Amino acid sequence: MEAIATDLPGVLILEPPVFRDDRGAFRETWRRERWAAAGLPERFEQDNLSASRPGVLRGLHYQHPNPQGKLVSVLAGAVFDVAVDIRVGSPTFGRWVGVELSAENGRQLWVPPDFAHGFVVTAVGGDGVALFAYKCTTVYDPTAEGSIRWDDPAIGIAWPVASPSLSPKDAGAPTLAEVAEGRLPRHAATP
């Protein structure tokens, strides 16, 4: 497996080998010792699966306190997946990285705790949806849930879909500057 560093510290693109033949394909999506060697935690607490139609955008979501690290991948279709550094005092605060994840390329993205995460569906599988899988380091905590506006101009994410389909919560999310500082994580080097 190849682990590719991104411009955001700790955010990794993972490329497990995909074995293809005339019957289809096979790949590992998690093996504790291999993924731990790439720097991921050895333990996850919750797995999630979402099914989304073309143009659906989910995000930007985070938990604070009780942050979730997420290992994400696509089982059917394709998405443009994004991680944003929202750690107050971080040298990369407000910066983002995006990558295409698809059933075809088999890539995964590791989004560390204290980063916001979102994705938009760019292609669907045979059932007309993209299947998006999350392995989470902590369980979902609705009291710690936070959202940041998907099109925050200060972040400037270059989404490949101009008019995505949004939930009411995501459509009404605040910009990063509007989130109270106490509702955001702090960079480890920041007092």
Known catalytic residues are: 61, 134
Whats the size of the chain, residue-wise? 191
Contact 57, 117 (CB under 8 A): no
Using a CB cutoff of 8 Å and minimum separation of 24, what contacts does 22-26 make?
Answer: 25/106
Spatial strand order in the sheet of 70-76: 2-5, 12-15, 108-111, 70-76, 130-136, 46-52
Q: Position 53: which residue type?
A: R
What end-to-end distance do the CA atoms of the chain give, in Å? 37
The tokens describing 177, both together, are 């500057």
Please report which residue ranges of the chain form alpha helices under DSSP H. Answer: 32-37, 168-171
